[in-house]
Amino acid sequence: MTTEIIPLGTASAIPTRDRHLSAVALVRGGRTLLFDCGEGTQLQMIRAGVKPMRLQAVFISHFHGDHFYGLFGLLATLALLKRSHALTVVGPQGIADLVGRIPGLEPEWLPYPVDFVEMAPTMSKAIVLESSEYRVEARPLEHREFAAGFRFEEKRRPGRLRLERAHELGVKDYVDFRLLKQGKAVTSGGRRVEPDEVLDAPPPPASFAYVGDTRPCEAGEVLARGVDLLYHEATFGSEMADRARETGHSTAAEAARIAARSGARRLLIGHFSARYDDPARLVEEARVVFKNTDAADELKRYPLQAVEPAAGERPVAQPDAHRGEQ
């Protein structure tokens, strides 16, 4: 199944002629997860060919306007399009009440249900969305107010069934085929057949981390651990390091250090201050620390491709018990 990351907005605080406000779409098999929803996001979705009716969930990182003012218009558009199936909206505590106070977005008016998942300021981590195929985890970052980062990770799927080999071992029943695909041994013709005898190696699960407004922090590193693609804010260059600390943001070099320490495969930086007409200097700064860095290009589609790491190549995402929490 093809999965793509599409930056829709890479500006910080205010839009520019060439940049829109924060939003990143993850499109998987035609279905979309949207991370942040700054003003104008729905127009960018149209330009990117992302169908709003195929939207499954919106993840709002925090209550700064450049990250969520576009949510209200998007919800209204979905109503005008006669959406009837539920939409999940994940956000900080209070988001359900906030949306419900907007004229036209009251629950009794919307033609579709909105399932709100609220993140408390005291949250240490939470699985905020889970399906049979993937999960999305949230952790609190370090910003001027509560802000969360997110990690999308596919669940490991079973390997492809080698049907000819199964037949050779006497397996004929489709029920047994299904059990083998589930990783369960079967007995056929008096012979026990183990899954690893008839299954190819399972494909590696793809992973993506969205680390928005934040200072470099442990939670951001944990979310990014071993991901195939990390989107991390890089509002400033190193010459503005003091300003980054004052405003709760990261420099390009700091984002690169998170990517390097977490073992991410690729880094996209975004959320650029309007003072940088061209982010090339920020990319150059980041590449000194982490070579596989690019500036997120709005509307460009970045394939999310998982590659099984060689032994010792990068850390495997796992409970960080040595840090005192998972």
Active site residues: 66
What tokens were used for 179? Answer: 């059990």
Taking the C-alpha atoms of residue 210 and residue 310, their distance in angstroms, rounded to an integer, is 24
Taking the C-alpha atoms of residue 217 and residue 193, their distance in angstroms, rounded to an integer, is 48
CA dihedral of residues 267, 231, 20, 45 (deg, nearest 10): 110
Going by C-alpha positions, the residue among 35, 250, 235 that lies closest to residue 138 is 35
Taking the C-alpha atoms of residue 197 and residue 178, their distance in angstroms, rounded to an integer, is 14
194 Cα distance to chain centroid:
35
| Residue in this structure with the two tokens 């008016």, named with its chain if needed | 109
For residues 213 and 244, is the Cβ–Cβ distance under 8 A?
Answer: no
For residues 13 and 239, is the Cβ–Cβ distance under 8 A?
Answer: no
